[in-house]
């Protein structure tokens, strides 16, 4: 069972690798679109990567309300719990 902190570390590593974002910019409050410049096209690649990392079925609908890194961590955490 992963804690939210562990999920955050994993999400951070993914964002750094996929989008070349400086790790210190990836905080729980950072907004994906406004602060990190991740748009709906990037979201497709991000979800694809998360699916492979977690081995879970992740539907885009579960992530529609995701706005911040914190939202993303919570959504991934919820998927892992399910």
Binding interface with another protein (CB under 8 A)? 17-20, 39-45, 47, 60
Give me the least distance between CB of 46 and another protein, in Å please: 8
- Angle, helices 40-54/4-19, rounded to nearest 10 degrees: 130
CA gyration radius, the chain: 11
Give me the least distance between CB of 47 and another protein, in Å please: 8
Is 6 or 39 the residue whose CB approaches another protein more closely?
A: 39
Is 22 or 41 the residue whose CB approaches another protein more closely?
A: 41
Residues 50, 32: contact at Cβ < 8 Å?
no
Give me the least distance between CB of 44 and another protein, in Å please: 5
Residues 11, 76: contact at Cβ < 8 Å?
yes
């Amino acid at each position: 069972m992963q804690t939210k902190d562990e999920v955050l570390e994993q999400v951070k590593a993914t964002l750094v690798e996929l989008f070349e974002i400086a790790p210190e910019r990836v905080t729980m409050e950072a907004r994906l679109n406004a602060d990190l410049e991740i748009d709906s096209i990037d979201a497709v690649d991000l979800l694809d990567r998360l699916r492979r990392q977690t081995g879970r079925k992740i539907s885009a609908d579960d992530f529609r309300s995701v706005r911040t890194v914190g939202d993303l961590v919570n959504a991934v955490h919820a998927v892992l719990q399910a």
